[in-house]
Amino acid sequence: MSAVRKIAHIDCDSFYASIEIRDNPSLAGLPIAVGGSPERRGVVATCNYLAREFGVRSAMASATARRICPGLVIIKPEMARYRAASAQITDIFRDYTDIIEPLSLDEAFLDLSSCRHHRGSASLIVSEIRARIAEEVNITVSAGIAPNKFLAKVASDWNKPDGQFVVEPLMIDSFVRQLPVRKLFGVGKVTAAKMEKLGVQSCGDLRDFDRDQLDSHFGSFGKRLYDLCRGVDDRAVQPTRIRKSISVENTFATDLPGLDACLAELPGLHEQLLERIEKLRDKYRISKQVVKIKFHDFISTTVETLSPTTELQKYRELLEEGYQRGLRPVRLLGIGARLSPVHEGMTESSEVKNSATPKNTASAPQLALFEER
């Protein structure tokens, strides 16, 4: 194999439950589950870590959950907000790599091998991504970093919640040796039981079997098991989604006192934006121009307009409009563009980005478009 890859697996902590607590802070400190009602034979989709201490789990009947955790607050799922948060997180990922493979709304693989932020340190890049998600989406995520997908996924679970764990290339052998076989991709209850009968509990135990033996016990899966129990996994991160927006922004060391000072910052931001858009020129067309302003009291507003270009003059007009809403010093300015793919076939079907995103409202919580600098 060529150079060692840097793969991250990022998984939100108690995802639906975290969004519910974020949006209703009075729930903080209570055991909560998101799912169907106990009276209607509903099941738990997920629960917060406090509820987990009582034994509540995903896929458990809500009635059982309520019984083992009497104070449990059960909330009906509302997918639109989970989708919006997911899209917002994906947009943050896109500031670091385009090689993103979402596995569900709350988890994704990222190939960071070519990302040059933090001089290519995947640990620092992932720390920054996690900090941005905490700040911009207001939930925590856990992450694993490793030379391949299998190990990155195992690692993201290692320090959950709100943690991160790196499997360095030199650690792979010892790390995988002690892993229970259940942690292997594709090993469910049935296969694990079969392995147990063979005296196999850990990946180290599995290494005692040669290729032919694994083949005879596990058929076509045997070949993969041979590799996995040695920490080998050459699968590529397969990007399946497209970029929906691009932006640049700046938080100023000293607040900009008024509109003129803000306008004076626009050409510099505009130049950075054009540079970034240039790289996407063949794949995307521009559908909107957007300006984001965060005032000194952290109240944010965005203003956007339909537009096929990234004209500086239009950004000026949007900035003037946004500034009028606050009329006070500004700590952050951002400009960006919403994008559509040039080729229709590129559009990924299932994702409705930011469907719950309020537009042009002060302190809109879902500002998916922007990146901190």
How far is it, in rounded angstroms, from Cα 224 to Cα 213? 13
Q: Which is nearer to ligand DCP, 13 or 136 (CB)?
A: 13
The partner in contact with residue 233, picked from ligand DCP, Mg ion, none with C-beta cut-offs of 5 to 8 angstroms by kind, is none
All residues at 6 or more sequence positions from 5 whose CB lies less than 8 Å from its CB, including other chains = 111, 113, 147, 148
Note the Cα 30 to chain centre separation in Å.
25
Given 45, 56, 151, 369, the residue binding ligand DCP (CB under 6 A):
45
Stretches 11-19, 174-182, 276-284, 320-328: which one binds ligand DCP (CB under 6 A)? 11-19
State yes or no: residue 371 binds ligand DCP (CB under 6 A). Answer: no
Least distance to ligand DCP, CB of residue 70, Å: 21
Q: Is position 107 annotated as part of the catalytic site? A: yes
371 binds, among ligand DCP, Mg ion, none (CB under 5 to 8 A by kind): none
**58 contact choice in ligand DCP, Mg ion, none (CB below 5 to 8 Å, kind-dependent):** ligand DCP
Residue number with CB closer to ligand DCP (183 or 270): 183
Rg (CA), the chain: 24
Site for Mg ion in 93-112 (CB under 5 A): 106
Tell me the C-alpha to C-alpha distance, in Å, between residue 34 and each of 72, 180, 303, 348, 365. 10, 30, 34, 27, 21
DSSP state of 202: B
Write the CA distances from 275 to 26, 97, 303, 313, integer angstroms: 44, 16, 22, 18
Site for ligand DCP in 84-143 (CB under 6 A): 106-107
Is 20 a binding residue for Mg ion by CB under 5 A? The answer is no
Binding of residue 12 to ligand DCP (CB under 6 A) = yes
What would the two tokens of residue 288 be?
């909107």
Instruction: Note whether 12 binds Mg ion by CB under 5 A.
Output: yes
In single-letter form, the type of residue at position 175 comes to F
Q: Report in angstroms how near the CB of residue 65 gets to ligand DCP at its nearest.
A: 13
d(CA 67, CA 62): 9
- For residue 166, list its beta bridge partners: 145
Q: Which residues are catalytic?
A: 107
Would you tell me which residues interact with ligand DCP (CB under 6 A)?
A: 11-16, 45-46, 58-59, 106-107, 160-161
